[in-house]
A = this chain, B = another copy of it.
Amino acid sequence: MTRLRSRSTSFDVAALAGVSQSVVSRAFNPGSSIAEETRKKVIAAARKLNYVPNSIASSLTTKRTNIVALILGNMANPFYVHVLHNFSQRLQEMGRQVLTFTVDPGAESDDAIMRVLQYQVDGVILTSAQLSTRMTSICHERGIPIVLFNRYIPGSDASGVRCDNAAGGRQIAEAFLAAGAKSFAMITGDPKGTTSQDRVRGFVERLLEEGIRRTDIEEIEGNSSYEGAASAALKLFKNRKRPSPDALFGINDIMAMGAMDALRSRLGMRIPDDLMVGGFDDIPEARRLPYQLTTVRQPIDLMVEETLSILHLDDPTQQIERGIDRPITGKLIWRNTIPVPPAYRWAADNSGETDAS
């Protein structure tokens, strides 16, 4: 323990400043009644001793740690990296920090939650991982709000914020149709995840409405990864008996990109000439020169804001908001993987894009 000796405490500061320990506490807690002059005196003493308030100790009495847990599956999808970055930044601005928990994609997050609980976090944000209802209620019982990010469990107590995935799927379908596509394929993600399901559902619905036959909509799983999508695409397009589809919907950008690369390098296909491609997420990589992917942008900033507001971090006395499902509409970003039909030109010009160079 020798290493830990020299942490000075509020008592040390108090002694040096010639005040009581509680005055030191007040000096560091904005809003407490303390004379400006004594405050300065205390701060000076604190500086001299390199004193930093021990937030662990204060948590014990305040019951707030100013820590928010972020449970992440699948860091291989850049989208979730951006999500993490966003939360981290925003929470830091609010004087909070992110405690990161990683869970293998698809795995139950139950043990992660139990670990979270030990740290007495003020809230938990869960992305791309399963959550049992038992865990939800354990958190809620203990007063810890939990919100699912891009994931929801219909009829459960857990609140969630997500992109309106079905609507987004429809938008991509719409774009394909407007560009004249007649036959379609999808590379789907985790079949158990509502995210993938909803995008697929919206996409297919819109197509069926337009009189497309279900047999003209093929489907293959891409494992939510670049590599998975690359091999799925190859499987789909190599040695076909029936004619190739006109349009391919990658349920997320990273899979659309994997498919594009594989199809171009291996099969020499040209995009959009031989095949139109649509994605979902609008990760920064989607606008890069080799891709210029037409995709649905998830409004991350908004979704993050919404998530934080449900967490009520500044007001723990608020009732936990249960069972909220907040779908947020994405925006179709026209780039080069779907030919822009005349009727949509204004939208394409509107996207406010400048290219990478």
Chain A contacts to B: CB under 8 angstroms: 1-7, 50, 52-57, 59-60, 63, 65, 67, 75-76, 78, 81, 84-85, 88-89, 92, 97-102, 114-115, 117-120, 138, 141-143, 226-227, 230-231, 234, 258, 261-262, 264-266, 284, 288-290, 316-320, 356-357
Residues of chain B within 8 A (CB-CB) of A119 are 55-56, 67, 97
Q: A56 near B52 (CB under 8 angstroms)?
A: no
Q: Which residues of B contact A55 (CB under 8 A)?
A: 118-120
B143 pairs with A7, CB closer than 8 A: yes
Q: Which residues of B are found within 8 Å of A7, using beta-carbon distances?
A: 142-143
B3 and A316 form a contact (CB under 8 A):
yes
Residues of B within 8 Å of A98, CB to CB, are 99-100
| Copies of this protein in the complex | 2
Tell whether A63 pairs with B1 under 8 Å between CB atoms, given A52-B114, A85-B75, A141-B6: yes
Once the chains bind, are B63 and A85 in contact (CB under 8 Å)?
Answer: no
Cα-based distance from A99 to B119 in the complex (angstroms): 11
Sorted nearest first, the 3 A-B pairs with minimum C-beta distance are: A3-B143, A55-B118, A265-B289
**A275-B315 Cα distance, complex, nearest whole Å:** 59
The verdict on A54 contacting B118 (CB below 8 Å), with A88-B100, A258-B356, A356-B261 known, is: yes
